[in-house]
Amino acid sequence: MTRMPLSATEDDNQDERQGSWPYRVHPTGWFQIGWSADIGAEQLVSLRAFDSDLIAFRDPAGDVRVLDAYCPHLGASLAHGGTLMGGNIVCPFHGWEWSAEGKNVRIPYSKTVNRAQRIRTWPAREIDGLVYIWHGPDPLSPTWELLAIDQVIERAGFADRFHGRPVDDLRTWPEARLHPQFITENIVDHAHFHWVHSTRGPTDLHEYESDGVFFQVRHRFPGQGDTRLMILASGVGVQVWENMRYVGRPPLVPEEARAFKALRKWASQFYDDDVAN
Ligand code: FES
Ligand SMILES: [Fe+2]
């Protein structure tokens, strides 16, 4: 599994590309750490996210569990030689067993268990074939839940007009380094549709609304009637996101300013460090 490009500090060019980015912390929320198919039954998968080494596996019920990778006893990596037994993780170094909740449940050469030690667990969800973990100020208590794509479509009132997902066209850019907010900002960026997605001109962004963790926009596409828009994160989009420099106070024209401002204000709720945007 590839490493998630979430940390700007990993980027050689970080000072330059950071631009006037106003936050010091990772945003709060659910982050994809892999695909359902990456985590088979009886398999301990090693991964890295949020500057932490982690393991992922399926418990006997098939639910994905994610824990820190290191055994609290003497520090062995459970990702290297650890095994699964009856839903517990067995450390390769001295055989201590840890439950999916991170509790020590057996020490093979002792009558006791160590109740004080815990392996950190990460809330995990699996939706539409994607696996997510929660990252937030209270690491154990997600403050909102993800929706499946079908639920998103329904919430937006598009169930009757949704043309389905071309799953065969799935493409990924596992090495791309970009901030999740760059992608989100595109939804209010009415001018980019022409340049990046080949619409006939800028769209008419006639409605936008923030509602808790949701931000909904409605665009009219020029001269295209009831458009079937497939936003397949195009290579052009990724190239822009990967190489752009964030502009904290952009010189927006009146046609784009209000929606951008609303979106950035909405996005600020996901950062815990209260830096003015
Ligand atoms: S380091 Fe894991 S059991 Fe000793
Ligand atoms: Fe786009």
State pLDDT tens for residues 105-144.
999 999 999 999 999 999 999 999 999 999 988 888 999 9
Q: Give the Å distances, CA to CA, from 146 to 77, 131, 143, 157.
A: 30, 11, 10, 18
What CATH number does residue 79 fall under? Answer: 2.102.10.10
Predicted structure pTM score: 0.84
The verdict on the CB of residue 50 being under 6 Å from ligand 1 is no
One domain, residues 268 and 242: yes
**Domain end position, chosen among 95, 113, 142:** 142
Any idea how long the chain is?
277
Q: Note whether 53 and 187 are same-domain residues.
A: no
Mutate to test the pocket of ligand 1, among 44, 94, 112 (most ligand atoms within 8 A of CB): 94
Q: What percent of the chain has pLDDT over 70?
A: 87
Last residue of one domain, picked from the residues 142, 176, 194: 142
CA distances, 236 to each of 101, 138, 184, 221, 256 (Å): 43, 36, 16, 20, 21
In a mutational test of the pocket of ligand 1, which residue from 70, 90, 93, 114 has the highest number of ligand atoms less than 8 Å from its CB? 93
Asked whether residue 250 carries a pLDDT value surpassing 70, the answer given is yes
Q: Are residues 4 and 81 in the same domain?
A: no
Q: Which of 50-59, 83-92, 243-252, 266-275 has the lowest mean pLDDT?
A: 266-275
Domain co-membership, 263 together with 181: yes
Average pLDDT estimate for 172-194:
89
Of 144-153, 206-215, 234-243, 249-258, least confident by mean pLDDT is 234-243
Comparing 63-72, 125-134, 159-168, 199-208, which segment has the lowest mean pLDDT? 159-168
**In ligand 1, which atom is closest to the CA atom of 94?**
3
Residue 223 belongs to domain spanning: 1-28+144-277
Ligand that lies nearest to the alpha carbon of residue 80, given by its number in the listed order: 1
pLDDT of residue 235: 64
Task: For residues 104 and 86, give the distance between their C-alpha atoms in angstroms, rounded to a whole number.
Answer: 14
Task: Mark whether 58 and 187 lie in a shared domain.
Answer: no
The total number of structural domains that make up the chain:
2
**Res 32: pLDDT:** 93
pLDDT value, residue 276: 46
The pLDDT of 1-29, averaged and rounded, is: 66
The answer on 130 and 160 residing in a single domain is: no
**Tokens 């950190």, located at residue:** 120
Decide whether any atom of ligand 1 lies within 6 Å of the 96 Cβ. yes
Each residue's pLDDT tens digit, 30-55: 999 999 999 999 999 999 999 999 99
- What are the φ and ψ backbone dihedral angles of 43, each rounded to 5 degrees? -125, 135
DSSP 214: E
Q: What residue's CA is closest to ligand 1, atom 1?
A: 74
Concatenated DSSP letters for 44-87? -EEEEETTEEEEEEE-TTS-EEEEESB-TTT--BTTTT-EEETT
Task: Tell me if 93 CB under 6 Å of ligand 1.
Answer: yes
CA of 155 from ligand 2 middle (Å) equals 21
